[in-house]
Amino acid sequence: MITTTGSASATIRVRTFPAGFVWGAATAAYQIEGAVAEDGRGRSIWDTFSHTPGKVAHGDTGDVACDFYHRWEDDLELLSSLGLNAFRFSIAWPRIQPDGRGAPHQRGIDFYRKLIEGLHSRGIKPAITLYHWDLPQALEDAGGWPKREIAERFGEFAEIIAAALSDADALWMTLNEPLQVAHQGYRVGTHAPGQRDDALAAAATHHLLLGHGLALRALRDTLPGGGNVGIAIDFHPVRAIGENAREAATIADAEQNRLFFEPIVHGTYPRAARPQILPPASLIAPGDMQLISAPIDFLGINYYNPHYVKIDDDEGRPAGKPSKVGPSATDYTPPELPRNALGWPIEPSGLLDALVAINEEMHGDLPLYVTENGCAVNDQIDPHGEIDDAPRVEYLRGHLEALHGAIERGVPLRGYFVWTLLDNFEWAAGYDARFGIVFVDFETQRRVPKRSASFFRQVAQANALAGAGQPDRSAPDEPRQG
């Protein structure tokens, strides 16, 4: 619903979200927890990768990160003070099964139990991701995601967690961004475990999907009532610039968006993807695609930016740096688009387009959440000790408008998780890329909410967004007109 308020001279649009809308912040274990050698935690591929010279900016590691493992109670207080009603976090597999197999480690389970109880007692809904990239190193040593066995181990891990935490009133997600695991982890090597091999990436693709299917089955069988289970996938709407880019755009869309979405919702691999990207038939056992496409309760969408495809040379070659994901110039970005501190283009309409397209394909039947969306900014503390992160406020406002636009168009959107609560270990970019709505001084671990935190708090508390031009300091709580 869009209402207006204010005097004749200044009309302000107030976009109200549906009752019960979920407003959360998203995080991931390796990015915030630290305490990598405590309470029997095993080694993960990210410990190995970040300690390998040259892999992460400045040689940063997640050894300490935000020290969330020790400071989680204070951080839950922070969440409460921001008025958020959901918190997305992931479970570090190596805390539960240090070698990725065998009996669960009680101290690991206790940590997440306490965390969930702490959330429940504050009226904050847990949104639990089972795999946000920290594979036990022992499983990588056994071949990692390119091996079918790892999918089976992941199914067992899911069963352990579901049994141990079955009383959690939570949203459950099997995997986070499996595309990035296969692509960055096994095809281009920019993420752990740093492999560079198309065949490994294609095999990892199938086994990640199979792992999703097995974990989904385990959660269904173990959680009361089958749980509320989905997966978080990253979407990058592909924009073709010019007619001659259409075919390349279709291929890029297949390889960047449909590669995981289509098997999960339809049980098929996208035909338009190139053969070297698709898992070979020899890896697909009878029954796999049925397991992978078993019904989910919701789809989590991570959105940061669209991809542009442009082909402007007479021989039909890509105009920019060819991407290894597609035969297209996916690294091309229209120069007029603003960018975040990592150089990622900013285009809120991409979120609207993704949500509308996914919903059309699902005939309106699948509830959706935005499980990640946020902006890296070179934040600075001013002399008053405050952080005025205007570009992030602008970013959030634009994307929340897009979100509301999708709801207006009938998309069954249930919630939004900002990436992220705290500045943290941003994978290969280390600690330089600050995505938090709360600033972290990594020397002292002091937390300072940024202006975006107060903006987001106002939106969450009002369950509404005041229109552009409205100073974000004033909550949209004035009388509204229909």
Active site residues: 177, 372
By the 10 Å C-beta count (0-12 exposed, 13-18 middle, 19+ buried), 325 is classed as: buried
Nearer to ligand FCB, 100 or 374 (CB): 374
Minimum distance from CB of 376 to ligand FCB (Å)? 7
Minimum distance from CB of 50 to ligand FCB (Å)? 13
Question: DSSP characters for 193-223?
Answer: T----HHHHHHHHHHHHHHHHHHHHHHHHHS
SS3 464: strand
What tokens does 165 get? 């935490």
Phi then psi for residue 252, to 5 deg, are -60, -40
Amino acid symbol at 406: A
Q: Would you give the distance in Å from CA 180 to the centre of its chain? A: 10
Minimum distance from CB of 177 to ligand FCB (Å)? 5
Whether 456 and 79 have beta carbons less than 8 Å apart is answered as: no
Reported as type and span, the H/E element at residue 266 is helix 259-266
CA dist., res. 231 & res. 302, Å (int)? 10
Nearer to ligand FCB, 179 or 466 (CB): 179
CB neighbour list of residue 465: distance below 8 Å, 6 or more residues apart: 14, 15, 17, 397, 400, 401, 404, 459, 476
Minimum distance from CB of 372 to ligand FCB (Å)? 6
Number of Cβ within a 10 Å radius of residue 15: 21
Amino acid symbol at 373: N
Nearer to ligand FCB, 69 or 133 (CB): 133
The residue whose two tokens read 């967004």 is: 465
Q: End-to-end CA distance of the chain, in Å?
A: 9
Region of residue 318 (left: phi > 0; alpha: psi -120 to 50; beta: else): beta
Nearer to ligand FCB, 284 or 428 (CB): 428
What tokens does 76 get? 């839950």
Return the bridge partners of 446, or none. 441
Instruction: Enumerate binding residues for ligand FCB (CB under 6 A).
Output: 28, 31, 176-177, 180, 234, 302, 372, 419, 426-427, 435
Nearer to ligand FCB, 64 or 341 (CB): 341
CA dist., res. 193 & res. 200, Å (int)? 11
CA dist., res. 231 & res. 349, Å (int)? 23
Nearer to ligand FCB, 179 or 249 (CB): 179
Question: DSSP characters for 51-101?
Answer: TSTTSSGGG--SSSTT-HHHHHHHHHHHHHHTT-SEEEEE--HHHHSTTSS
CA dist., res. 35 & res. 94, Å (int)? 12
Nearer to ligand FCB, 31 or 50 (CB): 31
Nearer to ligand FCB, 137 or 302 (CB): 302
